Amino acid sequence: MAELLEVQGLETRFFTRDGVVHAVNGVDFRLQQGETLGVVGESGCGKSVTMLSVLRLIPQPPGKITGGSAVFQGNDLLKMSEEEIRHIRGAQISMVFQDPMTSFNPVLTIGRQLMEPLELHLGMSRTMARERAAQLLEMVGIPQARDRLNDYPHQFSGGMRQRVMIAMALSCNPQILIADEPTTALDVTIQAQIVELVKKLRDEIGMAVIWITHDLGIIAGIAHRVVVMYAGYIIEEAPVKELYGNPQHPYTLGLMGSLPRLDERERRRLVSIDGLPPILYELPNYCPFAPRCAYVIERCWNENPPLVQRSVDHKVACWVDVAEGRRPA
Amino acid sequence: MSENNILLRVENLVKYFPITRGIIFQKQVGAVHAVDNISFFIRRGETFGLVGESGCGKSTTGRTILQLYRPTSGHVYFDGIDLTTIKGQELRRMRRRMQMIFQDPYASLNPRMTVGEIVGEPLIIHGVAKGAEVRERVEYLLSVVGLNPVFANRYPHEFSGGQRQRIGVARALALQPELVVCDEPISALDVSIQAQVVNLLEDLQDQFGLTYLFIAHDLSMVRHISDRVAVMYLGVIAEMASRDEIYNNPLHPYTQALLSAVPVPDPLVEEKRRRIILEGDVPSPVNPPSGCRFRTRCRLAAEICAEQVPEWREVLPDHWVACHMVV
């Protein structure tokens, strides 16, 4: 498989009145052609900021990308001019956002908004763009697509709006689709519709997908490979079956244990992770998970563990080998 | 099952919200059929889970039970007393025995009151305690929900979402209620914090013998916490049974679709699962479909479903369903 995107040492900071927020702290990951990468973490762990940084969509100021590279097809996205990245954004790498209510312009028709990227990126004429927009709506399963082009965003339900959002993201046949919690605002039955839709389109078009979510359930069904983020770091990375079958980082273990499962047979007490995620005004010189970790040893307080290869396909950032039978006290 | 084991009995509960037009002379032009003729009961000491998608009427049900909304018709019997017929002093006395925990820990605490004032307020309003006694009681309540009693002098903004939810729980427990209506108490929280709050709710139930009405849209969590579960769709209850029964033997086509839509955090299970994908969206509660509410999205729908409202019946012991197609 060919490498599509390679991010290395990405660092993003927010310079706020209260201090510098260290949102992303040296993140490395790769994305292959046609692959679906799941990015998991809780709110504030830096998963969205990482992807927004790659597309240079961080509001600046207060945000700033302070280091790293993001190489897409041989070019560093972080170094190119505003003009150049505009040709990539929405055309070759596109993004779907969490809230389908606020990501549209409420005073323009859906048709107008769908046609805009087609005219801008692909240089289509108005009639051609309109034709293609109708096709796109059909592709994502919106009935009476042609008539609905004249409707405004508020005339669509949440699930339908997210479909339109996906249609817009796919309009220029991107190579990468970044989906940032695209189903979090939706009901489960609608969520299932959207997940199936993205899977189907992904396989048809052969694009790569980065799916950002806090829901380990969705990731299990859609991703090939998963990275887990905490406090602006990637703390674990593995193929999906390996990660769920053999989680290595205490945080990942904790997350898995804190989820009730629909197919659980016996009632068990949920494993909760004590304490709160850190606020990143200062980069700790120890492991950022140490204060909440059940496996903590002295070394954790002295050095922040780097993300290292533990087996062929499994990277972990932890000093402790959880599998060695060390149980929490 | 003896009658005195039942703490709450809801009979044919209906709640419509009027839609009006006009500014000075308001004319009713329609109604949102938020809850439409539902019946169920909750046994003392159990956790009853009410699940459904947004807009299905589950929160309205919770609020109507507590008489925060007065029902359009129907009855709510709490410990044998019909709450819909009493008011004023009498109702207030009953309210002491049932409390609520809200979804949004940011909006449900007054930002200008200290934690001590928030948790102590019900004690003062209901005249249960005063002066130093309130203080003592507040400190005890905070320690019960796992907060440091010193926090009583702080304001809500100084706390995280999970801690705020604990404050909400402490407030709900202040009057030693029998029934606590938990309206999506964890859906605004992060996964690792959700588990903390759920474990707390379970511990408190054991400690104080509480009865919970647990309203949520997260089916996995409802399965985890509930003894019995009811599934709502567009203002009606589609199915009701014990937790294992409803998850192992769902009879209503909506319950089946809903369960199949929930992702399981295990790629090996996900690989093999077959989903029932529902077409389209939930219809508007202003003008719900005739007959069975679910028929417009149901894969089994027949002619009778449009003509007759399906009867709410007990098809197996303690397993209730409203569907023409279930034998």
Average pLDDT over residues A261-276: 79
What per-residue confidence (pLDDT) applies to A329? 40
pTM: 0.85
Question: Do B205 and A246 form a contact (C-beta atoms < 8 A)?
Answer: no
Q: Which residues of B12-40 are buried (b: 16+ CB within 10 A; e: fewer)?
A: ebbbbeeeeeeeeeeeeeebbbbbbbbeb
pLDDT confidence of residue A259: 86
pLDDT in tens, A38-75: 999 888 888 999 999 999 998 888 889 999 999 998 89
- Return d(Cα A172, Cα A163) in angstroms, integer: 16
For chain B, say whether A216 makes contact (Cβ under 8 Å). Answer: yes
Give the residue among A254, A255, A253, A220 at the shortest CA–CA distance from A239: A220
Helix or strand or coil: residue A151?
coil
pLDDT for the residue A233: 94
SS3 B241: strand
The amino acid occupying position A11 is: E
B324 min Cα distance to partner chain A (Å): 22
Amino acid identity, position A209: V
Q: How many CB atoms lie within 10 A of CB A20?
A: 16
Q: Minimal Cα distance from A258: which residue of B?
A: B195
**What is the pLDDT tens value at each position of chain B, 327 positions in all?**
455 689 999 999 999 999 888 888 888 888 899 999 999 999 999 999 999 988 889 999 999 999 999 999 999 999 999 999 998 889 998 989 999 999 888 889 999 999 999 999 999 999 888 888 899 999 999 998 888 888 899 999 888 888 899 999 999 999 999 999 999 888 888 888 888 889 999 999 999 999 999 999 888 899 999 999 999 999 999 999 999 999 999 999 999 999 998 888 888 888 888 888 888 778 888 889 999 999 999 999 999 999 999 999 999 999 999 999 988
State yes or no: cis peptide before B253, omega within 30 of 0: no
At B305-327, the pLDDT tens digits run: 999 999 999 999 999 999 999 88
Interface of B with A in 252-311 (CB under 8 A): 257-270, 273, 275, 277-278, 281-282
Is B50:B230 a contact under the CB 8 Å cutoff? yes
> Exposed (0-12), middle (13-18) or buried (19+): which is A174, by Cβ within 10 Å?
buried
CA distance A73 to chain B (A): 31
- Spell out a b/e string for B273-297, using b for 16 or more CB atoms within 10 Å of the CB, else e: eebebbeebbeebeebbebbbbbbb
> Is A205 part of the contact surface with chain B (CB cutoff 8 Å)?
no
Other Cβ atoms closer than 10 A to A278: 19
Asked if A164 and A142 touch (Cβ cutoff 8 Å), the reply is yes
* pLDDT on residue B3: 57
When the pLDDT of each residue in chain A is averaged and rounded to a whole number, the result is 88
What span, in angstroms and rounded, lies between the C-alpha atoms of B48 and B229? 6
Among the partner residues A187, A257, A264, nearest to B224 by beta-carbon distance: A264
> How far from chain centre, in Å, is Cα A128?
32
Residue A139 pLDDT class (50, 70, 90 cuts): confident
Among candidate residues B65, B171, B61, B47, the one with its CA nearest the CA of residue B120: B171
pLDDT higher than threshold 50 for residue A88: yes
Instruction: Calculate the CA B292 to chain-centre distance.
Output: 23
With contacts defined as CB-CB under 8 Å, which chain B residues touch A274? 196
